[in-house]
Amino acid sequence: MTMELKILNATNQSVGTKKLPGAFDEPVRKDLIQRAVEVVQANRRQPYGADPRAGKKAAAKLSRRRRKYKGSYGKGISRVPRKTLSRNGSQMYWVGAFAPGMVGGRRSFPPGADKDWSKSINVKERRKAIRSALAATVNKAIVQQHGHRVPDTYPFLIDTSFETLDTAKKVRDALENLNLTAELDRAGEKKVRAGTGKMRGRRYQKKVGPLLVVSGPCKLVQSARNLAGVDVVSADRLNAELLAPGAKPGRLTLYTSAAIEKLEKLFA
């Protein structure tokens, strides 16, 4: 059943109605959305690993043969690789090296940068997952379960004039006129992470706010960047993760009327 939604402008005035494309009638498949989101996250993951020669750069060969110069024969020491630090006559002073567990030694089974983290998904599965996530964004009950604070008039479309807003203040004022003040305040909250991660460049945990879907490159893409939790994406750049962050369907999403026309062509 095709849904017909109101189109609201920046002052919360109705300027018409529009029927949604058939893609929004797709059943919500959480399993497909989960799979598509995992693929997006895996392909974004940056390979990391230790230098293949890390901890192996010391000359740590130590002979155990009789009468061998610098040998450890008869010294009564364990058989770990050692490098010579100094000597006093024929007495050598060694320190453990090269082996795991030694100071300056290599790690046991370190991560390798040659590991392939990427995943793949069938094209039809990916497209079906996106359609499924689109359908969840216009289901008010699912969006509320996601934790968003939605206005009573949701779901609705926004006028294409939103794409011409060129400052963050104009964008925020327009969203507040659409009764999204509570949602913007929720998305603006952040808390200090309760773990070691706060010392590793991810001190704060932030919430995901509204997603604005536009027809293409426009001023709104730049002007809304400074609003916490708000994302702007072109209709042809949509993916499952943007529509269902954390693989949980039902993100509060506002589509411009021009974006709906583009989606209709993309999912025809």
Domain spans, the chain:
4-45+117-266, 46-116
Low-confidence ranges of the chain (pLDDT < 50): none
Note the pLDDT of residue 1.
58
Note the pLDDT of residue 104.
85
Note the pLDDT of residue 89.
86
Note the pLDDT of residue 69.
83
Domain range 4-45+117-266, its CATH number among 2.60.40.1120, 3.40.50.150, 3.40.1370.10, 3.30.43.10: 3.40.1370.10
Note the pLDDT of residue 268.
76
| Contact between 144 and 138 (Cβ < 8 Å) | no
Note the pLDDT of residue 240.
95
Percentage of the residues of the chain whose pLDDT score is greater than 70: 100
Task: Choose among 261, 240, 231: nearest CA to 157.
Answer: 261
Note the pLDDT of residue 103.
86
| Contact between 104 and 97 (Cβ < 8 Å) | yes
Q: What is the pTM of this model?
A: 0.83
Note the pLDDT of residue 70.
84
In degrees, rounded to 5, the angle at the alpha carbon of residue 154 between the alpha carbons of residues 151 and 159 is 110
From residue 147, alpha-carbon distances to 55, 180, 186, 224 in Å are 49, 13, 9, 21
Instruction: Assign 225 to helix, strand or coil.
Output: helix
Note the pLDDT of residue 168.
94
